[in-house]
Structure formats: structure tokens, C-alpha cells
Structure 1
Amino acid sequence: MSIRHNIQAPFTIILADDDEDDRLLAQDAMEAAGSSYQCHTVSDGQELLDYLRCEGNYNNNTISELPSVILLDLNMPILDGRETLRLLKLDPYLANIPVIILSTSAAEEDINEGYALGASSYMVKPNDFDSLVDMMKCFNNYWFDCVSIPHTAANDEHK
């Protein structure tokens, strides 16, 4: 495995969600919330891992940086959010990236399992756009204004 990264921008996020409408809605809400970070989207957990590791369809890519934060849906095809989170936390080069679950599920067992697998936070997707914008404002304020995000070994080549 080869991870090729070059840190340039202050903050980037990756949104992993299988629903294209949800991805577009979240990106619109981020923009409406005044987000100043770059957002890359993927449609499932395997694509997320491939993107971060520069494998599969991303084999010839060099991503500009490891993300500052990952927003991860739980219920996705191919590789769901739970298994993706488990694999992220097992990978020494990716384990320190904060992962926030962004799911429609408010079930206690999903919330508990998400934290047990290493999620940094769990957010339940609201039902309307204005609430989603408000959530993204809170997300921005907390993750990019209040906390210190770990730096990764993004400039190194890993095999």
C-alpha cells in the first residue's frame, strides 16, 4: 500500500454517503453554513479507503492531503460505515483522523456501537435543510474553531 499526500489547505473533510442526494444536500448545507474547508465525497466505505490509501480507482492519484475530519454514513453498500470505521482505526496511518458518524439512525445501539468502534462523534441527520445548515454551523464551530485536530504523517510515503 502506498499513501501519497501533501498537506496544503488548512482543513479538508471527506463525506462518505451512498445517497447522492444526501451528499449534495450536505454540501449545500456546508456552503450555506459558511464552511471554508474543502469537501471530497465518496459513495461507500471501500471507495473511502481506496481514496485515502491511493488504491483501486485512485491508484494513480495523489491526494492533496489526508482529511481533517471524515463524515461517515452507517448504512452503505459494499463496505458499510461500521466496518469502514473499524478498518480506519486499525490502520496506523489513518487511525488519528477524527470520524464523525452522520446517520439517519438515532437508535441507541447504533450510537453505542459507533462510539465503541472509535467514532469521535455521532450526529443524527435532521429532516429539513435549515436544521442541517444549523448542524453544519455547529460542526464547523466545534471541529474547526474549538478543538485541535491531530496532524497525520501526510507527507510520508507508506508501504
Structure 2
Amino acid sequence: MNYNSSHILIIEDNPDQWVIIESAIRDKLPGVEAVLATNEGEAMSHLHTCLDSKGNMPKIILLDLYLPKPENGWQLLKELKKEGSAFVQIPVVILSFSKDTNDISKMYNYGATAYLVKPTDYSGWLKYFETLRQYWWDTVTLPGQSF
């Protein structure tokens, strides 16, 4: 599968986490651009730029729940998944250290595609992105894909 010209939007406010995530993506998804947004405004700006320029939308969005508060993640997810949103079909995977069942339930209720607890070490991130590549790039067919 050709990964070139696709990208992942990572919404993460912790610079240390970003360094780890970006490195693991380079390792396991060569040719896929990782785009960082550190808050809701940057994320929506990137998505609207993609929409306005008729550029490639992200193949997937990885959203940190705590930006820095969970309310920030909830609001952004609700905005992305509201009826009529141009971004409703983009899969949104929640990444969080939280194992709180209330957080997990809320995110699914607001339209999350999946909820994953963040790995605690680099080898866990590598395994995570290997699995993500196999599932989202090699297995799943998403709207707007051309073959």
C-alpha cells in the first residue's frame, strides 16, 4: 500500500508526547505525514485549510482527551461529529492516559471511533502504530479513497 500523500492529524498538547508519537509514526508509517495541532483551534484551522484547498483530509485523527482539560477534548469531538460536519466521516481515535469509565463512555457517546489508553513506553507506541497501520491503512476502506 502506498502511504504517500496521506497524513494523520495529531491533536496533542504535551510536547514530550508529540516527540514520541512523531518518532513512532516515522518508524511504522514511513511516508505518512504527522501533522500536530496543540489545541482545538489549530485542529479546526488545519481541517478547514484542507477543506478549502480541496487537499487531502487526514486519514485519521488522533485526539488527546486532556487538552489540558477533558472538556476541551469533548467539545472538539462533538464539533467534528455533529450532524452536517464536513469532518464527520474522518475516524477519530481518542488517546488518553485516563482509564476512567466516565471518560471512555462520554467519548463514545460523542462519536469517537475508538478509545485507546496511551502506551507508557516507546515499544508500546511502536506496537500501537504498527497495529494502526495494519488496520487503518491496510485493512479498512474509508470514504473518498481511490484505488
Q: Same fold (TM over 0.5)?
A: yes
Match of 1:107 among 97, 100, 109: 100
Match of 1:86 among 78, 83, 90: 78
Partner Cα distance (1:87, 1:31) in 2: 29
Partner Cα distance (2:54, 2:12) in 1: 19
Partner Cα distance (2:127, 2:90) in 1: 24
State percent identity of aligned pairs: 28
- Does residue 69 (structure 1) correspond to residue 64 (structure 2)? The answer is no
Cα RMSD, aligned residues only: 2.2
The equivalent of 1:37 in structure 2 is 32
2:138 aligned counterpart, secondary structure: helix
C-alpha contact 2:92 2:112 (8 A) present in aligned 1: yes
**Superposed CA offset, 1:59-113 (max 9, x none):** xx94732111100001114971111000011252111111000111121111111
Q: Which has the higher contact order (CA 8 A, sep 6+)?
A: 1
Partner Cα distance (1:22, 1:144) in 2: 23
Unaligned runs of 5+ in 1: 1-8, 153-159
**Superposed CA offset, 1:36-67 (max 9, x none):** 3211111011210122113xxx9xx9473211
2:42 aligned counterpart, secondary structure: helix
How many residues matched? 139
Partner Cα distance (2:14, 2:39) in 1: 9
Unaligned runs of 5+ in 2: none
1:12 Cα offset (Å): 1.4
Structure 2 counterpart of 1:74, one-letter code: L
Q: Give 4+ residue runs of structure 1 displaced > 6 Å after superposition.
A: none
TM-score, normalising length: structure 1: 0.79
* Higher fraction of helix: 2
- Matching of residues 53-68 of structure 1 within 5 Å: 53-54=48-49, 62=53, 64-68=55-59
The equivalent of 2:12 in structure 1 is 17
Structure 2 counterpart of 1:41, one-letter code: L
Structure 1 counterpart of 2:102, one-letter code: E
TM-score, normalising length: structure 2: 0.84
1:33 Cα offset (Å): 2.1
- Matching of residues 120-135 of structure 1 within 5 Å: 120-135=113-128
